[in-house]
Structure 1
Amino acid sequence: MEFLQANKDRPFFLYYATWLVHAPLVMRSEPLLRKYEQKLGVTLTEEHKTSWRQPGQTNPFYCAMVEQFDYYMGQIFDFLATTPDPRWPGHMLADNTYVIFSSDNGGMEGSRDEIYTDNAPLDRGKISLHEGGTRVPLIIAGPGIPKNVQTRVMASGLDFYPTILSLVGAAPHQQKQFDGCDLAPLLTGDPTNPTLVKAADGRPRDTLFWHFPQSENTSSIRVGDYKLFRRYQPDGWTSAVYRLTDSASGQPQRADIEEQRDLAMDNPQLLKRLDDRLSELIASSGGRLPYGNPQSGRPLPHQQQAPTILDQQLIGRSVQIRYRSNGADLAFADIIYSPNNGREWLRLPATIQDDTTVKAELPAEATHYFINLIDANNFLVIDPPVDRKTLARKELAFAD
């Protein structure tokens, strides 16, 4: 609020990333907690502060946090609606301000010890590529945008940057390539018309994809009405196909956003088309598939062909790895380093010099590092080997 007050007489951009509603679930307002105890018909105990186990949308802490967040947002909207715009006499700031309300992911349904909420009718939640993890609220309001219009046109957070530039009349950098699309023609025209969202080639955008192998071992793609959900297995992947919307009338209508009916067996041609398109997009964007573990106790094809690391040397800031090929060429080599004692990790490419040597330059700010070798069969070998017990020790260098 201080920022808005200080900048009300000039153009401003406010990015408000609130902690609400996010774990850990805490609430200092006793009256709010008691309100939702009564509303939900539950009784809180001291134990419930960290271990709510009742399923559904029944957690008073979560409900109270939602209301508190609503109050904070109301303060912003009230300020915009009641503060005169000094650059536009007779108008309030709300008449000259665009507001985008959204979320970076679907709601977190809970942890191992606690249930937060339930995203029903959507399946799953945060960290998942099912609809409960990727379908989020999106409200956009401002000058020239029709009010009280609901749309099922596909949009993404990637669209915000080009849309904001367009709405405020700012020209994008000539060499900037956007991953998202400009939603301004949709917002100021007919918000229910999906053909108004244009891709870089000028055609209506009908495709979005998600690639998140780090946690859930999954990828997904949305093409028009259909969504493919891919789950990676040690020996390949399996895919399901859902029809989220029905656009037979020209505008998308809700169909199976619950992802209850898998169409893969009924329509193998659609399955292959979506699967191939997803693989193409992952490859063209530099994405990688989950790596195989050559140390796995489960026999895997080509497991024995993974390379063996012989030794590693650090000379100045140069890292050299000698390895032995066991039948599979190297596809990638990376140096993974931390600039801050293991709190975050960054990746840089290493150089595969020949069939025995990999070299990499260690950034000056690096405090820790290790080397990844990935062979042509997508098996990953790490040096030094990652030991979970060792990693648990704070401030310990993997290699220094």
Structure 2
Amino acid sequence: GEILQRVGYATAHYGKWHLSGGGPGQHGYDEHDGDTSNKDAAPFKDPNPVDIFGITERASTFMEKNTREGRPFFMQLSHHALHYPENARQTTLAAYRQRTTKSRQVVRGAITEDLDSGFGLLLKKIDELGISDRTYVVYMSDNGGGGGGRDRPLRGGKGSLWEGGIRVPLIVRGPGVKANSFCHVPVVGYDLFPTFCELAGAKEALPPGLEGGSLAGLLRNAEAGEIRRPRQGLVFHFPHYQGTEGPHSAIRVGNHKLIRFYETGQVRLFDLGKDLGEKHDLAKELPDKTAELIVLLDEHLTVLNAQMPTPNPTYDPNRKPVAQKGARSRGKERKRR
């Protein structure tokens, strides 16, 4: 938001905000909902479940105002929908109860349809304002599903670096983007910041050493485009205890993906081009490729001064676990901290 403000953009953020260091107003957003979280959406019921349509209305008003004033704008909508609490319109719920008796599927399906309806209203407003020929719309999720088999054929889910946790949709509509086209080039969430800056004409304002590269070339040329990043590969780093995997990191270069688990020191290698479900570990079969990716991963984390888990000197694998205040029990005392 700050960089786009400097080049004359009006900026807005609506929905949940999970960053530290203050709310959106302290990070370059002119209009926003404040320092919100998922629980802030709980009071919103039918006809505006979890504020889906309230967010849409505020976004539409923001676009109308800045289009009328002839000012370019950047807007981010971070919906509460599909997180707890789960609320949907009663008419949508009724329609899904006609399709299945499984309550979980009814609620999830209804919320997804309501969210889709809200997004459709936003696209319609862009068309009505006559700005679709100069407006990029980017739709993506922040992580995979909650696991429990719902991400098949992908392995794992939210809280892990298996494909089920990090492979998400990325859909773009805008000038130069061919309708119904598909691009196979792997990209990552941290590519979006340099992308938006280039599209807005603010590329020169990017801070040095920035992760990621602009997707503008892919948007205009699909498979023929390229992304220039400061370092090779897509890196994912999760040095925490949340979910079931413990601290772990992953790197993808081409179709090869390596995952390293810090508690056990285990590394696993997969060829996603042939094994998207990550069932066949190739680490022992391809030791040179494994070693190459470990070096690249270590270099990346070192350059970024990434937070790393450290061994727990008092770790006792035979000790009965004791739940700590504010922390989840893992079944065993933590080997790293």
- CA distance, structure 2, for counterparts of residue 147 and residue 17 of structure 1: 25
Deviation at 1:30, TM superposition (A): 2.2
Q: Distance in 2 between matches of 1:30 and 1:387?
A: 40
User: Equivalent residue of 1:152, what SS?
Assistant: coil
Q: Where do 5+ consecutive residues of structure 2 fail to align?
A: 1-59, 329-337
AA matched with 2:99: K
Instruction: State the 1:39 CA deviation.
Output: 1.4
User: Share of identical aligned residues, percent?
Assistant: 33
Flag the 1:391–1:209 CA change in 2: closer, same or farther, 3 A.
Answer: closer
Do residues 289 (structure 1) and 308 (structure 2) align?
Answer: yes
Q: What's the RMSD between the two structures over aligned residues?
A: 2.4
Q: CA 1:17/1:222 → structure 2, altered by over 3 Å: closer, same or farther?
A: same
The reply to whether residue 7 of structure 1 matches residue 74 of structure 2 is no
Q: 2:224 and 2:199 mapped to 1: Cα distance?
A: 18
Aligned residue-pair number: 260
Q: Give the superposition deviation at 1:167.
A: 1.5
CA contact (8 A) 2:197 2:206 kept: no
Answer yes or no: is 1:63 the counterpart of 2:114.
no
Q: What is the DSSP-based 3-state SS (H/G/I as helix, E as strand, rest coil) of the residue aligned with 1:237?
A: coil
- Aligned partners of 1:388, 1:147: CA distance in 2, in Å? 52
User: Do residues 106 (structure 1) and 144 (structure 2) align?
Assistant: yes
Structure having the larger proportion of residues in helix: 2
- Alignment map for 1:260-271 (pairs within 5 Å): 260-271=279-290
Matches of 1:179 and 1:188 in 2, distance apart? Answer: 22
Report the Cα distance in structure 2 between the residues aligned to 1:209 and 1:391, rounded to whole angstroms: 27
Q: Does 1:34 align with 2:94?
A: yes
Structure with the higher fraction of residues in strand conformation: 1
Measured at CA, do residues 270 and 68 of structure 1 come closer, stay the same or move farther in structure 2, by a change above 3 Å? same
Judging changes above 3 Å, is the alpha-carbon distance between structure 1 residues 212 and 37 closer, same or farther for their aligned structure 2 residues?
same
Match of 2:237 in 1: 211
The alpha-carbon deviation at position 264 of structure 1 amounts to 1.3
Q: CA deviation at 1:175?
A: 4.7
Partners in 1 of 2:278 and 2:128 — Cα distance?
A: 44
Deviations 1:235-269 (A, max 9, x none): x5101111112xxxxxxxxx322112111121122
Partners of 1:136 and 1:120 in 2: CA distance: 13
Query: What corresponds to 1:251 in structure 2?
Result: none
Aligned residue runs from structure 1 range 214-253, under 5 A: 214-215=240-241, 216-233=246-263, 236-245=264-273
Quote how far apart the aligned CAs of 1:67 are: 0.3
Evaluate the alpha carbon distance shift between residue 108 and residue 387 of structure 1 in structure 2; reply closer, same or farther with a 3 A threshold.
Answer: closer
> Of residues 203, 227, 240 in structure 2, which corresponds to 1:197?
227
Contact 1:153 1:193 in 2 (8 A): no
TM-score by length of 2: 0.71
SS at match of 1:13: strand
Q: TM-score under structure 1 normalisation? A: 0.60
Q: Which moved more, 1:210-219 or 1:279-288?
A: 279-288
Distance 1:390 1:159 in 2: 33
Q: Quick one: which amino acid aligns to residue 170 of structure 1? A: A
Structure 2 residue matching 1:63: 3-state secondary structure? helix
1:175–1:209 Cα change, 3 Å: closer
Contact 2:145 2:164 in 1 (8 A): yes
Tell me, which stretches of 5 or more residues in structure 1 are unaligned? 45-51, 53-58, 84-91, 111-116, 246-254, 300-385, 393-400
Correspondent of 1:123 among 137, 152, 155: 155
